[in-house]
Amino acid sequence: DELCLLRMWAVHFFVAFALSLLFVKVYRMYLLVGKGPRRHTISHGQAAKMALPLIALQSVVLLVFTFVDPNRRHEDIIIKGGEIIHRFTCGHDTPAFFVVMLVIEGGLVLVGCVLAFQTRHLRDEFNESKQIILAMYDTAVIGSSESLGVVALFARNKLRS
């Protein structure tokens, strides 16, 4: 069970951590270079403070699900013909964690796409937005496809039972 919880925390915490720092970087560049004649300055400390709310939100959600609906190890024994398959999987008792993470992380990717789109016309010496736009759109497409696949699997399993 500890490894299942570690996996839950590691994946989702570091997604929020990485995306929040990326958002702050893009937003900072947008304010410094791309927003009209008046330039704003943002110190490193202010930038770090801007990233903390997303990291804190993800930490609170992970803490709640650690105690309310923890990621537990499930044991499956499948017998097909003469073959016996013994496997362990990690999972939650309800789909609530999946739905909450879909909303939070999907929202983060959507915010990333909007920020990348807003910074697409910055000057070339400051502009990494083309790479960021491509990365965010790829993440959005892959995440959407993966989410639809998981939803389809849930629906198929519900129909079978």
The residue that leads in pLDDT, 54 or 156, is 54
Interval 142-158 mean pLDDT? 72
The residue that leads in pLDDT, 64 or 128, is 64
CB-based burial of residue 5 (10 Å sphere; 0-12 exposed, 13-18 middle, 19+ buried)? middle
Q: State the pLDDT at residue 38.
A: 66
Q: State the pLDDT at residue 124.
A: 65
Q: State the pLDDT at residue 161.
A: 53
Interval 95-113 mean pLDDT? 82
pLDDT, tens digit, 9 for 90 and up, residues 131-146? 766 776 777 777 777 7
Six-digit token pair at 84?
């016996």
Q: State the pLDDT at residue 52.
A: 92
Q: State the pLDDT at residue 36.
A: 60
Q: Count, in order, helices (H) and strands (E) of the chain.
A: 4, 2
Q: For residue 1, how far is the Cα from the chain centroid?
A: 22
The residue that leads in pLDDT, 23 or 63, is 63
pLDDT over threshold 90, residue 61: yes
pLDDT band at 107 (very low <50, low <70, confident <90, very high): confident
pLDDT over threshold 80, residue 147: no
pLDDT over threshold 60, residue 106: yes
The residue that leads in pLDDT, 158 or 10, is 10
Length of the chain in terms of residues written: 161
Among 121, 75, 105, 78, CA closest to 8:
105
- Per-residue burial over 87-106, b if 16 or more Cβ lie within 10 Å, else e, is eeebebeeeebeebbbebbe
Interval 91-98 mean pLDDT? 84
